[in-house]
Structure 1
């Protein structure tokens, strides 16, 4: 809700108290940490975009935008740059599940490190890599749009998503794509 209010509310700088924008951007940053984007919000922003010249809420699609736009830093996907690190390496259930056309995969890291988040079919073939690289500590989210690494639509069925980190045992979960 915070991102939606921020996105639709317009106030011009010359009409506001001088501290208004500083306070509001800090509030938005805090809300983004306390209320991370989930699958419902992602679906909702895409539905709303259909009646807004196909322009979805950029703060929902790119959860690092708050940090980059207002604080000049690339933040963790929870809107923070390691200020609230996770207690452990955790791979959460995707949402929604079952899903169509996309789902959000959430994970947490206790410390920065190399991460690989990939999608596999039940035969063990890699369908797509969502994240491969160094990731900061904290809560992160990735969206799988139900497509393979070549942009082809994946068939209905059960898929596995696996998170590997250099500092922890791999974790995997099942999800169901329904076309």
Structure 2
């Protein structure tokens, strides 16, 4: 397994994309393993991101293309190969996050209910905070039980900006470059 990374600009600051490549006798698979914001809580150490990668190669090129469409208001659901490393519970939470529709929110308790673990809101919150692929796995769409903004690895200001962006829909002029 080897990792590479690239850094891109976005309307919400620089994003570090991390790719993970695995190979066996029959095939090589490359998938997006990380999308980290500047000053993100639970951001891994830089040395774990691997060598700098070519933004024009897989999976970076397609990730950048889809993020550009998202920030332009043209894409509401990502379709990228992901390799999410975490506990089985974390991966279940992250999978469920991908089912929250664009522009909508769920509370941590509602997400716990969906997982069949109604008393696990706090554990859901912890798993949500460890999401390695922000924005694409939309952990920003999870809010407190009263609708309040609580916790976000990228900071509450970014969470509010992402939720406001999705609530408004298309925003001309927001492009990824």
TM exceeds 0.5?
Answer: no
Q: Which has the higher strand share?
A: 1
Per the normalisation by structure 1, the TM-score is 0.24
Per the normalisation by structure 2, the TM-score is 0.24
Report 1 or 2 for greater relative contact order, CA contacts < 8 Å, sequence distance ≥ 6.
2
Rg (Cα) greater in structure: 1
